[in-house]
Amino acid sequence: MTAWADATALDEALLSRQAWLERSGARWHALVHGATLAFVVMLYSNPMYWWPDLEKLRLAYVSAAVAAMALVAHRVVSGERVKVGLPAALPLFAYLTFIPLSLAWTLSQPDTIAANIEAAKMAVIFVVVQNAVDGPRRLRRFMLVAALASLGPALGAIDVWRNDDALIDGFRTHWRGMYGDPNRLAMSLIAVMPFSIYALLTTKKRWVRALFAATLAAQLGAIVLTHSRSGSLATAAALAFALFRGKRSIARKVFLGALIVAGVVAFAPETFWERNATITSYESDLSVEGRERSWQVLGVILEERPFTGVGAGAYLAAWDRFAPLSASGRHFIAHNILLEIVGELGVLAFGLFLWWIAWVVLRLWRAGDDPLVGAEARAIFAALAGYLVTEMANGFSLSWWLYFLFGCALAVTRLARSRAALTSGRAAPAAA
């Protein structure tokens, strides 16, 4: 009788411990999600720009660090594997390994060390986002919060333009910090603009639709006021994919597209049309001239160091060594993400990055037909496609927005694959 009682007490203790572990794991998982939401809010809203005393707190970094630590704690408590995206993301991780490897041949050790720190941050965000949005509801929440958070730089940029506050070139708006560059400001807004369209097309409550309609208007207004030509092309591409991919709500999509076009035509300043008209006038465009000089330098680098490049982050430092006489003078960045990778890390890293981009774009396109997460996949596809268009004329290979979109893309394709496996009666595929 005593042995039976002891066994029963042991079973109860084990069950109680298991229940505690499950509750604790769920709390840590919720913290991963909450801290990731806080990260994207801090990334866009940047409250230290409004309250300078907060700058010392580095809130975006703190949020990302909390999310990463909570993810590790969840792994320890629950025993669940951390999703890192393998084997699908193997080309991306292989590409990222070239950044620390380039310390062996870089022409600027300090710049490459700084690039390694940035690459580590990007890898953390890529992994954390995958684990934070591992369900349809969490993915949807992340997308909606990111869209709303972008009101910070969008409204800030509109206010700068309205007050004629040190406009770049006399007419291009900007905001603060990393959003002080009009092109980068446009890029960051394009990265989440399709999420506003997604909310408009999928939300039933009128007040929520009104909120995201205002958010979309602010995003588009700020992009127009940056006068970014690559931003204009990318916005058109993102809108096309967001509105006309998928068979549902065609009438509403056509109406929304027509409304957007009418709004831009009616409210865009004359300088917007004048600057975009220069897209075909390359001969007399100073910014195009700078890009041509940069590409001349890249040509010399590719000829002399095709497999190594000059080292991660070392492109500007290597300018004087590789610049032909026609490209001398002011130094320019590569202005193209692919050329930047070739120039800094060589053709092998370039090939790995292209492999990853091709895979993720194809899988996102296929996931757009999924009945469960198709709408989310189409919105992420539109955001990533638009963002990559801007990268073809700007070139920031280590970008927060790029890597959180990569994380969202891998999460939604995993969800689509798991649903397809369950409905077909097969076991859901494992993903690290």
For residue 428, tell me if it sits in a domain: no
**Co-location of 74 and 120 in the same domain:** no
Domain endpoint, select from 45, 60, 80: 80
CA 396/CA 336 separation, integer angstroms:
8
Q: What is the pLDDT of residue 21?
A: 57
Q: What is the pLDDT of residue 329?
A: 62
Query: ∠ at Cα 64 (62, 67), nearest 5°?
Result: 110
Look at the chain and count its residues: 432
CA 170/CA 275 separation, integer angstroms:
12
Tens digit of each residue's pLDDT (9 = 90 or more) over 103-113:
999 999 999 99
Structure tokens at 345: 């890390």
**Co-location of 71 and 213 in the same domain:** no
- Burial of 356 (C-beta count, 10 Å sphere; 0-12/13-18/19+): buried
**Co-location of 182 and 227 in the same domain:** yes
For residue 225, tell me if it sits in a domain: yes
Tens digit of each residue's pLDDT (9 = 90 or more) over 370-427:
988 999 999 999 999 999 999 988 878 999 999 999 999 999 999 999 887 777 665 5
CA 337/CA 405 separation, integer angstroms:
16
Count of the separate structural domains present in the chain:
2
Q: pTM for the whole thing?
A: 0.91
Q: What is the pLDDT of residue 276?
A: 84
Q: What is the pLDDT of residue 14?
A: 56
For residue 46, tell me if it sits in a domain: yes
Residue type, position 207, single letter: W
For residue 216, tell me if it sits in a domain: yes
**Co-location of 44 and 22 in the same domain:** yes
Q: What is the maximal distance between C-alpha atoms in the chain?
A: 96
Cα 121 versus chain centre, distance: 13
- Burial of 34 (C-beta count, 10 Å sphere; 0-12/13-18/19+): middle
Domain endpoint, select from 80, 108, 134: 80
Per-residue pLDDT of the chain (432 residues; tens, 9 = 90+): 566 555 565 555 555 656 655 777 889 899 999 999 999 999 998 887 777 777 778 889 999 999 999 999 988 888 889 999 989 999 999 999 999 999 999 999 999 999 999 999 999 999 999 999 999 999 999 999 999 999 999 999 999 999 998 899 899 999 988 899 999 999 999 999 999 999 999 998 999 999 999 999 999 999 999 999 999 999 999 999 999 877 667 778 888 889 999 999 999 999 999 888 876 654 455 556 666 777 788 888 889 999 999 999 998 888 878 876 555 566 666 778 888 999 999 999 999 999 999 999 999 999 999 988 999 999 999 999 999 999 988 878 999 999 999 999 999 999 999 887 777 665 555 555
For residue 432, tell me if it sits in a domain: no
Contact 381, 365 (CB under 8 A): yes
Domain span holding position 54: 1-80
For residue 370, tell me if it sits in a domain: yes
Q: What is the pLDDT of residue 185?
A: 96
DSSP 56: G
**Co-location of 312 and 400 in the same domain:** yes
**Co-location of 57 and 93 in the same domain:** no
For residue 295, tell me if it sits in a domain: yes
**Co-location of 195 and 318 in the same domain:** yes
Q: What is the pLDDT of residue 286?
A: 53
**Co-location of 27 and 159 in the same domain:** no
Q: What region, left, alpha or beta, does residue 396 occupy, with left being phi > 0 and alpha being psi -120 to 50 degrees?
A: beta
Q: What is the pLDDT of residue 11?
A: 54
Domain endpoint, select from 49, 80, 111: 80
**Co-location of 51 and 168 in the same domain:** no
**Co-location of 308 and 166 in the same domain:** yes
Strand, coil or helix: what is 139? helix
Strand, coil or helix: what is 168? strand
**Co-location of 293 and 192 in the same domain:** yes
**Co-location of 153 and 64 in the same domain:** no
For residue 430, tell me if it sits in a domain: no
